[in-house]
Amino acid sequence: KTFRPKRKFEPGSQRFELHKRAQASLHSGVDLKAAVQLPSGEDQNDWVAVHVVDFFNRINLIYGTVCEFCTEKTCPVMSGGPRYEYRWQDDRKYKKPTALPAPQYMNLLMDWIEVQINNENIFPTNVGVPFPKNFLQVCKKILCRLFRVFVHVYIHHFDRIILMGAEAHVNTCYKHFYYFVTELNLIDRKELEPL
């Protein structure tokens, strides 16, 4: 249930071209700090949309590699070590922040993000359809919650990442994520403290 099909961009669309540009810069050995900067003449919302979807796909895959070791027994609380506990709130079933086991939190999180990025009213896919006024706020919330996945994986499951030989990939993904959210000021610095 944790693995989800990747969200793709329509070939030939402006976002598909932005996605290709972002991917090409990542695989060319380019400085990640430079790769996250908004390309000249491009719309910031398009740039953020492309990255949010890409980070969702990548981070979901990273968690998927360790999810069999992240159980209610091994991770009874969604946390990032003893100092950071993350509670789930979705304003529907969980109206108040609620402590949950990490796997349950992760499933709710990935389901919630998937609903957001597949909602045409929030992430329009047609050229010329404007983004909603609250688009950046929604993206900030998604990115903040995705950051918590990194925190949990790094603090509780990094030994598994090392055993799989995937630490370079996870570290590169995290660096890309970190540079992107700090470049565009999308996550409060206090939220970033655990890592």
- AA letter at 190: K
Mean pLDDT of 110-134: 93
The overall average pLDDT reported for the chain is: 87
More confident residue, 32 or 6: 32
pLDDT confidence band for 12 (50 / 70 / 90): low
CA torsion sign, 70 to 76 to 81 to 85?
Answer: positive
Report pLDDT for 30. 60
Report pLDDT for 19. 46
| Cross-strand partners of 88 | 98
Mean pLDDT of 132-138: 97
DSSP class of residue 76 equals S
Report pLDDT for 2. 45
pLDDT confidence band for 38 (50 / 70 / 90): very high
Structural domains for the chain: 43-192 (1.20.140.30)
In the annotated binding site for Zn(2+), the residues are 70, 75, 152, 157
Q: Between β-strands 98-99 and 87-88, what pairing exists: parallel, antiparallel or unpaired?
A: antiparallel
Report pLDDT for 29. 57
Give the total residue count for the chain: 195
pLDDT confidence band for 168 (50 / 70 / 90): confident
* R_g (Cα) of the chain, nearest Å: 17
Report pLDDT for 35. 86
In the annotated binding site, the residues are 70, 75, 152, 157
Report pLDDT for 26. 44
pLDDT confidence band for 22 (50 / 70 / 90): very low
Q: Is the model's pLDDT at 153 over the cut of 50?
A: yes
Predicted TM-score (pTM) of the model is 0.84
| Cross-strand partners of 85 | 79
Mean pLDDT of 100-108: 97
Alpha-carbon separation of residue 172 from 21, 27, 122, 166, 167 (angstroms): 17, 11, 28, 10, 8
Report pLDDT for 28. 45
